[in-house]
Every structure is written in C-alpha cells, then in structure tokens.
Amino acid sequence: MWEEKLINFLQSRQSDGLHALYEKEMRDNITSKRFLVILALIVVTSLVSLYGAVQGLSDATSNEYMFLAIYTTSGNSIPSFMSFIALLGPFVGIVLGFDAITGEKSDRTLYRLATQPIYRDSIINGKFLAGMSIIFMMVYAMGAFLGAAGILALGIRPTSEEVWRVIVFLFFTAVYISFWLALSLWLSVVSKNAAASAMTAIGIWLFFSLFMTMVAQMIANVVYPMTTELEVYRNQLGNYQLDLTLNRISPYYLYSEAVSTIMNPSVRSVSVITMESLSGAISSYLSLGQSLLLVWPHLAGLIALMLISFAGSYICFMRQEIRAK
C-alpha cells in the first residue's frame, strides 16, 4: 500500500513540476520581444499573401475551390501563403528553440532550475511542449485570420471539405515547424552558445530549402547519366525516381509535396506517373480521404523527424552535467 502511495506522490510531483515549467515557458515566450517580432512577421506575411491571392483570383471566378485558392494562389511577384510558410516556417521554430538551453546556461539559471524539487526531464519536456503549443496556436490563428479575411474580400462561401482541407494543411504546417523547433532545441543542448546553435540551425534550414534539390539532381545525374539520347531513353525513369527519393530526405520538400496534394484536389499521385497508369483513368477531383491516403507517409515522416530530433535533445540533455558557475 505504501509503495503505491509513494509512486502516486512522485508522479504528482513530476506532473506538478512539468506543469509549472510549461506555464513558465509559455509566459516567457508570450511576453518576450522575440514573440512580438515573430507575430508581426506572420501578420505581414499573411496580409501580403492575401493581397497577392486576391490579385490572382480577380479573374478566376470559375475556380471550383476558391477558398483553397486563397492559400495557394500567388499574385504578381508575390508568393502564395503556402510558399511563404514553407520557406519561413522553419524560422519560427528556430527562433523559439535556438537558445532554450544555451540561454539558461548564459544567464546562469539552469543550475537553479535543476535544483528545484522536480524531475530533470521536466525541464526539456516543458520547453518543447510550450514551444509546440505556441506554434500550434500561431499557425491556426494565422490560418483562421487569412481564411476569414479572404472570405470578406472575395465574398465566397467555403464548403465543409475545403474547411477540413485547410485544417489538415495547418496541422501539417504545425508539425513541420515543430520539427525545426525540436532540431533547434537539440542544437541548443549540444552547442556552447546561442550563436553557434542559431548559425547551425540556419545553415541546415538553408541547405534543405535551397540547395538540396541541386544536390539530389547532381547525384541522380551521376548515377543515371542522361547526356545522350540513348542514356535518356534508358535512364530517365531511374534518374527521376532517385532524384525524387533524395529530395524526400528534405523536410522542406516532404512538407511542400504533402500540402500541395492536400490543397489541390486535382493531384492524383505523388509518385511516377506512366502512360500505363493513366490508361482508363477518369479525370476527376480526389476526396479529402483519398488525398490523405497519398500523403500519410509524408506526415509519418515529418512526425518521425520531429520525434527523433526531440529524442536527441532529451538524451543529450539528460547526460549533460549541470554545474553552477
């Protein structure tokens, strides 16, 4: 009997400690100048993308999915909201996590935090959960704001399927940004200072966003060269498949491919399409359930990357020695 009481007491202490740290991190994030800068960036991004979408949709009144087009249509030299968030979303996760641990070390508050009557893993868990909560709230608030403004500007009435597609799109977006939060948190644990953590995270972000496509194409051209007509005939399929496989290592490409499928019901495949597979196919839009069947591996991959990154930060943090300086 006393063993059960002791276990229940320890579990309650752990839960209380995690809850207290979660509240502390949420309060610190929301009241920080950094959060205001991120919020301003998101608002400006949403307004600019909405302006571009309204420009692009002004002559496209026959579009069957006008509400989805608010998020996917680009204007004159203005990227769509989906393109904006794919490129700038990682920045939000990096900013929220790059100094989560190094900042505590530089302020010499990590030791005092670790000496409190809480489990040590509550520190890293509380920081990650608070960051994820901020990301999910910001993403869904941003999506709702953009959708409501688009309805008022265009005078359209979204269908229930369109609303659900947007909800799924925002969920993919929040998971995608949370991966970058987990990665930056990991770098914050293993780096000596916040500058090193931030620069490493930004370097990884730029590589996957800008250079991974070029690297994948170079490797595919080396393995399956296409310099002559005969090589093109023999290697074209293998070249494309290898290029696609290598690109899917990138979270940026994985996310972009998934949300493009969710937000465009006319997309019927995310793999190689041959003439044999098109034979007898009926040209129509896919339902939300069918689109989800195409991209559930992408969601599983993003969640796996996020969990692996957090597991790395968790293990490294638990093995570190925390000393007062």
Question: What proportion of the chain, given as a percentage, has pLDDT over 90?
Answer: 20
Kindly report the backbone phi and psi dihedral angles of residue 75, in degrees, each rounded to the nearest multiple of 5, phi listed first. Answer: -100, -160
Q: What is the mean pLDDT of residues 65-91?
A: 83
226-245: average pLDDT: 81
Which of 136 and 74 is assigned the larger pLDDT? 136
> What integer pLDDT is reported at residue 288 of this predicted model?
85
What average pLDDT does the segment 74-90 reach? 82
Residue 196 lies in a domain: yes
Inside any domain, residue 324:
no
Tell me the sheet residues that pair with 78.
75
pLDDT at 111: 61
Could you tell me which of 84, 82, 125, 100 has the C-alpha nearest to residue 34?
100
Residue 7 has pLDDT above 50, yes or no: no
Q: Is the CB of residue 123 less than 8 Å from the CB of residue 189?
A: no
Those residues whose C-beta lies under 8 Å from the C-beta of residue 221, and which sit 6 or more positions away, are 239
Contact 181, 128 (CB under 8 A): yes
3-state secondary structure (DSSP) of residue 106: helix
Task: Report the pLDDT value the prediction gives residue 284, as an integer from 0 to 100.
Answer: 67
**pLDDT per position as a tens digit, 13-51:** 445 577 778 888 888 888 888 888 888 888 888 888 888
- 21 within 8 A of 126, measured Cβ to Cβ: yes
Query: Which residues does 134 contact at the CB level (< 8 Å), separation at least 6?
Result: 26, 29, 30, 35, 96
Do 181 and 89 touch, CB atoms closer than 8 A? no
Count of C-beta atoms within a 10 Å radius of residue 228: 10
Residues 197 and 203: beta-carbon distance below 8 Å: no
Strand, coil or helix: 63: coil
Q: Which pLDDT belongs to residue 186?
A: 92
Residue 282's pLDDT band (cuts 50, 70, 90): low
User: How many angstroms separate the CA atoms of 139 and 181, rounded?
Assistant: 14
For 124-158, the pLDDT digits (tens) are: 888 899 999 999 999 999 899 888 888 888 888 88
Q: Name the more confident of 245 and 9.
A: 245
- For the chain, give the percent of residues with pLDDT over 70: 84
Other Cβ atoms less than 10 A from the Cβ of 32: the count is: 12
Q: How far is CA 90 from the centre of its chain?
A: 6
Least confident range of 2-16, 37-51, 182-196: 2-16
pTM: 0.86
Mean pLDDT computed over every residue of the chain: 81
Per the structure, how many domains does the chain have? 1
Confidence band (pLDDT; 50, 70, 90) for 5? very low
199 in a domain, yes or no? yes
Residue 325 placed within a domain: no
Phi-psi region of 320 (alpha: psi -120 to 50; beta: other; left: phi over 0): beta
Range of the domain at 296: 2-319
In the prediction, which pLDDT does 3 show?
42
| Residue predicted with more confidence, 58 or 156 | 156
Contact between 138 and 177 under an 8 Å Cβ cutoff? The reply is no
